[in-house]
Chain A
Amino acid sequence: AQSVTQPDIHITVSEGASLELRCNYSYGATPYLFWYVQSPGQGLQLLLKYFSGDTLVQGIKGFEAEFKRSQSSFNLRKPSVHWSDAAEYFCAVVSTSGTYKYIFGTGTRLKVLA
């Protein structure tokens, strides 16, 4: 069965520090992968997506993610975190059943220290 694992429930970093949020997936074919961000009390906003091609994808707000097939990973990175990046981050993969349904990870809550 397809699954998405985000091993870190909470992460705390200092403002200006680098960030890496982990995402591992279980999938039989080339996955379609996504990262979303959710600010408190809000819906989800798409940060970036990977379908094929270059394994390093750039997203909005200075985020990037790297697809590593050998590690079944799609980790999200940012070189310098801003206080406004504090939010919940969700990794997702599209189901192979042809239904366009996402399988979401459980999320990682990012706290940024001033």
Chain B
Amino acid sequence: EADIYQTPRYLVIGTGKKITLECSQTMGHDKMYWYQQDPGMELHLIHYSYGVNSTEKGDLSSESTVSRIRTEHFPLTLESARPSHTSQYLCASSGDSYGYTFGSGTRLTVV
């Protein structure tokens, strides 16, 4: 049962377009994360948040931005998509324990 939802699942978009990847969770978790994963590769943390109005950049530099206006919502935005942004983006959340709950991911292709 998915308690964290990512939309869209797949997105093909042209270069230069602005896109927003949505991530919402219903568990009341205060901590949320965005990971970037190329096919068959490891996960790289690009953004995280420990609560409303709190956002930090992760270990991998990314041209994307995030916001956390509501506890349940953690969208990721690319102002001008490029082919180098083609990847899978995974959203996750965690509460008081250290276990993450992951969404199903958004597979982005920029043409």
Residue numbers of A with Cβ under 8 A of B are 32, 34, 36, 41-46, 49, 51, 88, 90, 94, 99-102, 104-107, 109
Contact = CB atoms under 8 A, between A and B. Distances in A.
Interface of B: 6, 31, 33, 40-43, 45, 48, 50, 58-59, 90, 92, 94, 98-105, 107
Contact of A49 (B42, B99, B103): B99
B105 A43 contact: yes
Contacts, number: 55
Nearest to B35: A104
A44 B100 contact: yes
B55 to A, nearest CB: 13
Contacts of A49: 98-99
A45 to B, nearest CB: 7
A89 to B, nearest CB: 12
